[in-house]
Structure 1
Amino acid sequence: MRALRSAILFAAVVPMLSGCFLWSKSDKGPQPTPLVAFQQSADLRTVWRNNVGDLEDTLLRPAVSGTSVFAAAQNGNIVRIDNGQESWRIRAPSKLVSGVGSDGKVVVAGSATGQLFAFGADKGDLLWRIPLAGELTSEPLVADGLVVVRVGDNQLLAYDTKDGKRRWVYQRAQAPLSLRTHTGLTRLDDAVLAGFPGGKLVALSAGSGFPRWEASITQPKGSNELERMVDVVGNPAISGESACVASFQGRVGCVVARSGVLQWTRDIPSVSGVSADDRFVYVTDESGAVYALDVRTGASAWKQDKLMYRGVGRPLAIGNQFVAVSDQQGWIHVLDRTDGHFVARTQLDSSGIFAPLVKYADSFVAQTKNGAVFMLSVR
């Protein structure tokens, strides 16, 4: 019954999501906003490109550790890229659906058959594999000798990076419905921050999995399970002393990272999550409008609404000047950090960009649905 409800939910929700918009040539539903012309004032260029393989309908995304980029494909390909050169390429024992996570020593990904694989980052050799009681639903978090994964919508499991032995389990009550989207984990000192259905943000001790605090970013409301679904989406973002998240059909908000005390919330629903720098929290709402909010108060700094219904992903701050966003037609859009106006644009390919953009120093990495991995810089 749960599998049936999830399948029905996915079919019902996908057309509504700005991070998962489906466009067609028919006149039904919102159509992607045509791109507006502008005078490019920044230099957006491709530093290097590598092809890994198709992503299909997975939650795969690139990982950056130091100067290395790790990326995977649905067929099991995993590559390590250093300064644009492929250091190694391996094939996992089975097809992959989530990952990759890496700390520069270990590379971890999850399979469609419910297995977790760990590979050595130096040569790509298989270190261990373990069965899981379900499918991974986010990329693994790898840090300080731990691999933390999300199985299903409400269970976190931690494993030792050396041998795959389980260290702890954190379990919440199952939600009637949940989104299938990128909802990751964030490490903050000796804690792991995780978002959950019901609009909850939780901090767990990395060593034991013991909950330190729980914050409510939004409250479920509505007359049915779909209307009451307010899952936290994306990875929690850290800015100074604040931890910030967004929720589907709910709010964007920040809490004090050490205590979970709520600082502010805004009624901006999202399916792609937030990013943050020292000044702003950046979020794309369900229709595709991009916002910059003051990290201290939540007040609006600017709004860019010229990308509506294009399947715009999570904004990513690049350096001190720019914010990059992608869309599902394969375009990268670069906005000015100060007021959100367009400064550069390029199309990577027509297969679309569904995986979140990943920061690399003052550049960033993008992976298209057909598996092309790009390193891009903007000046």
Structure 2
Amino acid sequence: MRIPVRLFRAAILGLMAAGLSGCGLFSSPDARFDPAPLTDYTPTLSVATRWSVSIGSGGDYGFEPQLVGDTVYAATPSGAVAAVDLSSGALRWRAGDEPLQAGAGSDGRTTAVVTRQGMVVAYDAQGKEIWRSQAASAVNVPPTVGNGIVVVRTTDYRIQAFDESTGKLRWNVQRPGPALALRTSIRMAMVPNLLIAGMPNGRLLAVDTASGTVRWEGSVSASRGASDLERISDVVGEPLTIGPLLCGVSYQGRTSCFDVSQGGRAVWGQDVASATGMATDGQRLYIPDMRDVVRALDLKDGQEQWQQPALLNRRLSAPAVAGRAVAVGDYQGYLHFLSRVDGSLMARLQVGGGPITSALLATPRGVVVQTGSGNLMLVGVSD
């Protein structure tokens, strides 16, 4: 059973629910868990929308823009799949007309999405459909494309790789899974010859992309608690590789880094959990925690450098590094820019379109935002 992370976050914080099967947010009788109001600050960074283009309609977890070269690839639940020029926002191609559950993943040659029926659909560099193949079950995580394969992670805890040219199933890896798992901002990472995937049991896998052999498996966190809800410990966001380090963060768990040059030896761990993921500038990890306090951890030893509580309970997106700042989106469609040095508020921009659930995308030209209404936007940052 997979329930959107918003429901779990509310329940974990002790909010009252009408029922787990509902689609709406929980209401809270406790003001401690209300979103913090926007606070006054002195702007120290200039931010502005460079371009905006509608690529479809709707937004949800499982839909995150991806940059390959100078092209942004994105998809929306309404069925649109698009390639957009990063510099100008010009639409290079648009395809698709059936409702989607996840997308888009691309390596610039092949772009893949997944329909609500679990069908993996691949497009070529001009946006022409080239194949479709059925996944083992539903898919809520964007596909990852590279090393000659298209990879999906299904809701029955499988990782399946399809041949990038033909769509033929190349390999399949399955791990036992918990009774409950999140539907939140999650993405797999591709490095030369390896796929890095976070799993719902708090573990990271490194899988050989040619054979599907699991080369390494490590624990970001262990499940704790008396109930299925309390034991949820999904690895969220995208696993980060920084030099020899591989880092992951889990829901209701912790942040852990491993040294892949030494067989995946655990380097450090901190009890900082997240519902959406993290970003790095090569010196620090930036993580919105379970209460949306943004924290900066030193990459070398995990020691906390600063924390910023001004965005408490604002349901923050996965962050992105943007020049001197780290950016996060919130439930009202605001982008917030915090100083990488001390976490102070530097800038704020309303982009609209409802809650920002897609992870922000850092690019050389600024931050790409996919809004809840299906718009794709580039926000430039300057001193």
- Find the aligned partners of 1:23 and 1:226 in 2 and give their Cα distance: 15
State the one-letter code of the partner of 2:279: S
Q: In the alignment, what sits opposite 1:117? A: 121
- Partner letter of residue 273 of structure 1? G
TM-score (norm 1): 0.92
**What's the counterpart of residue 90 of structure 2?**
85
How far apart, CA to CA, are the structure 2 residues paired with 1:197 and 1:75?
A: 27
Residues 64, 21 of structure 1: alpha-carbon distance in 2 compared, 3 angstrom cutoff? farther
Cα distance between partner residues in 2 of 1:131 and 1:265: 38
Q: Is 1:98 aligned to residue 93 of structure 2?
A: no
Map 1:150-229; keep pairs closer than 5 Å.
Answer: 150-229=153-232
TM-superposed deviation, 1:336: 1.1
SS at match of 2:8: helix
Of 342, 345, 348, which residue of structure 2 is paired with 1:345?
348
Deviations 1:121-177 (A, max 9, x none): 2x2110101111211121111112211110115210111111111111111113211
> Secondary structure at the residue paired with 1:179?
strand
- Shift in Å, 1:65: 0.9
Separation in 2, partners of 1:352, 1:115 = 27
Can you give the 5+ residue segments of structure 1 that lack an aligned partner in the other structure? Answer: none
The residue identity in structure 1 corresponding to 2:287 is V
Indicate the residue corresponding to 2:16 in structure 1.
Answer: none
Secondary structure, aligned partner of 1:15: helix
Answer yes or no: is 1:59 the counterpart of 2:62: yes
3-state SS of paired residue (2:102): strand
Which residue in the other structure is 1:15 paired with?
10
8 Å contact from structure 1 (residues 114, 132) kept in 2: yes
Deviation string, structure 1 residues 216-274 (Cα, Å, up to 9, x no partner): 11111211222122111111012221111111111011111342211111111211112
- Which residue in the other structure is 2:247 paired with? 244
Q: CA, structure 1 residues 149+341, in 2 after alignment: closer, same or farther (shift >3 Å)? A: same
Is structure 2 residue 229 aligned with structure 1 residue 234? no
TM-score normalised according to structure 2 size = 0.91
Q: Do 1:331 and 1:347's aligned partners in 2 also have CA atoms closer than 8 Å? A: yes
Residues 356-365 or 247-256, more deviating: 356-365
3-state secondary structure, aligned to 2:49: strand
Equivalent residues, number: 370
Relative to structure 1, the CA distance from residue 13 to residue 166 in structure 2 (aligned partners, 3 Å threshold; closer, same or farther) is same
Match of 2:18 in 1: none
- Using the TM superposition, give the Cα deviation of residue 73 of structure 1 relative to its aligned residue in structure 2, in angstroms: 1.6
User: Does the 8 A contact of 2:318 with 2:358 survive in 1?
Assistant: no
Equivalent residue number for residue 287 of structure 1: 291
Shift of the 157–291 alpha-carbon distance from structure 1 to 2, 3 Å rule, reads same
- Distance change >3 Å, CA 153–CA 273, structure 1 → 2: farther
The percentage of counterpart residues that share the same residue type is: 33
Could you say which residue in structure 2 is the equivalent of 1:366? 369
1:95 aligned partner, one-letter code: P
Are 1:70 and 2:73 matched, yes or no? yes
CA RMSD after TM alignment: 2.1
CA change 1:143–1:366 in 2 (3 A) is same
**Among candidates 302, 307, 312, match of residue 303 of structure 1:** 307
Distance in 2, matches of 1:309 and 1:142, equals 34
**C-alpha distance in 2 between matches for 1:265 and 1:28:** 32
1:232–1:247 contact (8 Å) kept in structure 2? yes
Aligned-partner SS, 1:302: strand
CA positional deviation for 1:16: 4.5
Name whichever of 290-299 and 273-282 sits farther off.
273-282
Three-state SS of the structure 1 residue aligned to 2:77 is coil
Native 8 Å contact 2:61 2:140 kept in 1? no
Cα distance in 2 for residues equivalent to 1:257 and 1:191: 12
Question: Which segments of structure 1 move beyond 3 Å, counting only runs of 4 or more?
Answer: 9-12, 20-29
